[in-house]
């Protein structure tokens, strides 16, 4: 169809819902505690690997942590395989728990 004044082009936009970043009810008075990163290392095992990312199952039984290939130190994602023990700094992103500064532990 030709674009003219009798037949204008129409664009539709879908707006992303913005959720307020509020603390859970009853925890509004709790302040954040900052722990030095060097004291906050967690161990786990590689659970699932994909092209460029994967998941770690923490040894403490908490929720699986997502990681990106760029967060691996000392080796590459191609050197890792499911079941490998790793050490990492836990973090949190918009989708949930994540891992940073992942290092493979030697057995």
Residue that is written with structure tokens 């590459």 in the block: 76
CA-CA-CA-CA torsion sign (14, 15, 16, 19): negative
CA 38 to each of CA 27, 62, 101, 103: distance values in angstroms, whole numbers, following the listed order: 27, 20, 11, 14
| The pTM of the whole model exceeds 0.75 | no
Render pLDDT for 5-55 as a digit per residue (tens, 0 to 9).
677 777 777 777 776 666 566 555 544 444 444 458 899 999 889 889 999
What integer pLDDT is reported at residue 15 of this predicted model?
A: 73
Domains of the chain: 37-104 (2.40.50.140)
Residues linked to residue 50 through DSSP beta bridges, in sequence order: 53
- Reported as half-sphere exposure (CB side, CA atoms, 13 A), residue 45 has a value of 8
pLDDT value at 68 more than 50: yes
């Amino acid at each position: 169809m030709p674009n003219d004044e009798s037949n204008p082009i129409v664009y539709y936009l879908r707006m992303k819902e913005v959720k307020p970043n509020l603390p859970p009810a009853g925890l509004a008075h709790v302040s954040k505690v900052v722990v030095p990163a060097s004291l906050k290392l967690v161990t786990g095992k590689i659970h699932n690997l994909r092209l460029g990312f994967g998941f770690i199952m923490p040894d403490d039984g908490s929720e699986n942590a997502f990681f990106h290939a760029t967060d691996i130190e000392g080796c590459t994602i191609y050197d890792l395989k499911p079941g490998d023990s790793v050490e990492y700094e836990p973090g949190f992103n918009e989708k949930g728990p994540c891992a940073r500064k992942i290092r493979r532990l030697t057995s």
